[in-house]
Each structure stands twice: as structure tokens, then as C-alpha cells.
């Protein structure tokens, strides 16, 4: 800038003194309002840097005098959410099944929690729709091995079946063939008998011989009529539902090799509240029985 500012005649503005081929550069000052905003942002920036976390250091950053932390806020929000959720869960721990059913909100909560826990823990074996697979029972129907009342289901989940729990549900379908208890002839006969009580196509003569064996060897667990017994987990052999399949070959295999389905005990992996939620969910799938049912 020259000491002697030159004023441009047309605009009336001071020039910088630079000139190219007669074209001069005007020295238009910043508008006042712009400048004030500019200074204000500087002040704001300094204030912000003092109060808020801002300047990166090697391992951390300056914390600011206000001690603000988004991370702490998120943790706090999650804690609040968890306590709210826990209030519902806590209620589940103490509420009876009737109380849960009587409280639509608690019931809805139990169903939602149970459904999501089912997807996480149970669907691998029982299928995402709880329809079951060979060796893994269908949980949608009203045919139960160990019982379909709410308390039965909750007990099954808590202690498991042939699982590690000291009070696990336990019983054994022996390997009558492999362990040499029966001859293959006897197994053939009793297989035909099971087919006959299941109302399936069978050889009547063999079945007749098998009936005697069944009464002597099998009825103690499966019952005189083959209806099964929930106390021993011996399934009903006369209904359409089979754990291991109802074809002649499947039944033969069950008798020859025995069966020992294992269902884990969930008491160590899931909280009692979650087991209650799962029991509400499984009970609601279609086969849940009333508490009064024997």
C-alpha cells in the first residue's frame, strides 16, 4: 500500500496501488458486520476450547472445564434403559404365571423377550419356528414328552434333559439290540407291535408276539397302552408325533440303539427371569396346557 492512498474515481474506493496495464486494484474493506462475526467466532472458539473437550493430546485430549463427555452420556442413557428394562425383568422373577397373564404389558414384555431369546438360544436345535427336527421335538403342538404346563416347561428349561444339572430330567431308552438284551427277532416283533399301536401298517403275527415283549419290557416306561409317561419322559408311541421318526426303520433303530436326546440345562446360561420369559413364549406357541391339567 502506498503512503498516499489513491482514490478510484469511478467507485470512490481507495486502491491498493497495484496496477496492470491501467487496471487498478481496489482496496475494498471487509464489511463491519462480517468483521464482528469473525471476531465473535474467534472468541467462541477460544471459549469452547476452554470449556469443552477439544485439543487432541498424544494419548487423550483436553477435557474442558465443563467435563462434558458424549461417551459418559451414552453410558448413562444405557444404564437408565437397563434399569427400566430390569424393572420389567425383575417383575418376571417374582410374578406367577397367572399374574403375568393378567398383566397385558408384562405378558407382552415376556413374549418379546422370550421370542428373541428363543432365536438366540433355541432355534439351532428346535428350528426358528420351534417346529423341531428329527431328534429335536416340535414345541408348537400339544404333544409333550415332559409336560406342557407352564411350570413343567420352566422346570425342563432350568434343569435340562439328560444334561449337566444334578436334578436334570433323566431316563433312558436302552439299546436293546446293541447291548444284546433282545435278539433281532424280538426287535422285529416289538417293532411291528409299536407300528400296530401307532395305527400304522404292520405284520399282525409279528405284532402279536411283540405285544408280550412290550408288556414285559416296555410298558413300565411307555405305559400298558403305549401312551407314554411324563414322569419318565417316555414318549407316547401311539400318536402321530415322533421324536426320532415313525417309519419302521426309525422305530427299529430307536429300539436297537436306544435314544438319549440331550437338552442343555439353561440355569447357568440364562437368568431365571429370562427362563420365565422363554417359558411364557414356548407355552404360548399352541400347546401350552393349563395348570390344572394332570
- Interface with ligand HEC in residues 139-168 (CB under 6 A): 139, 144-147, 153, 156-157, 161
How many residues contact ligand HEC, by CB under 6 A? 50
Sole window of 22-30, 85-93, 94-102, 218-226 interacting with ligand HEC (rule: CB under 6 A): 218-226
CA-CA distance, 56 to 70, in Å (whole number)?
Answer: 16
Q: In the complex with ligand HEC, which residue's Cβ is closer, 27 or 171? A: 171
Q: In the complex with ligand HEC, which residue's Cβ is closer, 97 or 137? A: 137
- Interface with ligand HEC in residues 46-65 (CB under 6 A): none
Under rule CB under 6 A, residue 282 binds ligand HEC: yes
CA-CA distance, 263 to 98, in Å (whole number)?
Answer: 27
Q: Where are the alpha helices (DSSP H) in the chain?
A: 32-51, 70-94, 97-102, 104-121, 123-126, 150-159, 184-197, 204-213, 219-222, 248-257, 272-284
SS3 state of residue 103: coil
Please report how close the Cβ of residue 89 comes to ligand HEC at its closest, in angstroms.
16
- Torsion sign, CA atoms 39, 41, 45, 48: positive
Helices and strands (H and E) in the chain: how many? 11, 2
- Interface with ligand HEC in residues 70-129 (CB under 6 A): 118, 121-122, 124-126
Q: How many CB atoms lie within 10 A of CB 4?
A: 6
Please report how close the Cβ of residue 152 comes to ligand HEC at its closest, in angstroms.
7
CA-CA distance, 258 to 265, in Å (whole number)?
Answer: 22
Give exposure, 241-255, as e/b (b: 16+ Cβ within 10 Å).
Answer: ebbbebebeebbbbb
CA-CA distance, 211 to 192, in Å (whole number)?
Answer: 9
Contact 106, 91 (CB under 8 A): yes
Sole window of 52-60, 71-79, 96-104, 242-250 interacting with ligand HEC (rule: CB under 6 A): 242-250
Among 97, 176, 188, 280, binds ligand HEC (CB under 6 A): 176
Please report how close the Cβ of residue 132 comes to ligand HEC at its closest, in angstroms.
8
Under rule CB under 6 A, residue 272 binds ligand HEC: no
Please report how close the Cβ of residue 210 comes to ligand HEC at its closest, in angstroms.
8
Among 190, 197, 206, 285, binds ligand HEC (CB under 6 A): 190
Under rule CB under 6 A, residue 252 binds ligand HEC: no
Which residues in this chain contact ligand HEC in the complex, by CB under 6 A?
A: 118, 121-122, 124-126, 135-137, 139, 144-147, 153, 156-157, 161, 171-173, 176, 190, 194, 214, 217-218, 220-222, 232-235, 237, 242-244, 251, 254-255, 259-264, 266, 278, 282
Amino acid at each position: 500500500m502506498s503512503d498516499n492512498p489513491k482514490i478510484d474515481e469511478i467507485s470512490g474506493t481507495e486502491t491498493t496501488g497495484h496496477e496492470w496495464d491501467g487496471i487498478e486494484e481496489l482496496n475494498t474493506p471487509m464489511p463491519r458486520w462480517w468483521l464482528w462475526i469473525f471476531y465473535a467466532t474467534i472468541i467462541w472458539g477460544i471459549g469452547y476450547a476452554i470449556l469443552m473437550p477439544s485439543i487432541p493430546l498424544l494419548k487423550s485430549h483436553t477435557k474442558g472445564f465443563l467435563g462434558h463427555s458424549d461417551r459418559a452420556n451414552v453410558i448413562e442413557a444405557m444404564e437408565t434403559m437397563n434399569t427400566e428394562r430390569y424393572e420389567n425383568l425383575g417383575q418376571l422373577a417374582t410374578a406367577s404365571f397367572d399374574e403375568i397373564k393378567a398383566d397385558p404389558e408384562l405378558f407382552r414384555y415376556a413374549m418379546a423377550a422370550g421370542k428373541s431369546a428363543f432365536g438366540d438360544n433355541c432355534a439351532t436345535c428346535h428350528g426358528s419356528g420351534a417346529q423341531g427336527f428329527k431328534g429335536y421335538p416340535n414345541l408348537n403342538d400339544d404333544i409333550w414328552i415332559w409336560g406342557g404346563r407352564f411350570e413343567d416347561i420352566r422346570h425342563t428349561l432350568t434343569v435340562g434333559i439328560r444334561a449337566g444339572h444334578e436334578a436334570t430330567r433323566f431316563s433312558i431308552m436302552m439299546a436293546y439290540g446293541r447291548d444284546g438284551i433282545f435278539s433281532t427277532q424280538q426287535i422285529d416283533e416289538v417293532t411291528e407291535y409299536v407300528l400296530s399301536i401307532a395305527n400304522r401298517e404292520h405284520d399282525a403275527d409279528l405284532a402279536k408276539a411283540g405285544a408280550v415283549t412290550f408288556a414285559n419290557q416296555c410298558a413300565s416306561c411307555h405305559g400298558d397302552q403305549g401312551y407314554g409317561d411324563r414322569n419318565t419322559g417316555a414318549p407316547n408311541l401311539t400318536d402321530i408325533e415322533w421324536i426320532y421318526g415313525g417309519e419302521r426303520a426309525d422305530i427299529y433303530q430307536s429300539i436297537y440303539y436306544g435314544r438319549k436326546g440331550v437338552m442343555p440345562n439353561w440355569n447357568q446360561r440364562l437368568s431365571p427371569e429370562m427362563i420365565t420369559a422363554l417359558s411364557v413364549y414356548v407355552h404360548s406357541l399352541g400347546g401350552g396346557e393349563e395348570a390344572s391339567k394332570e
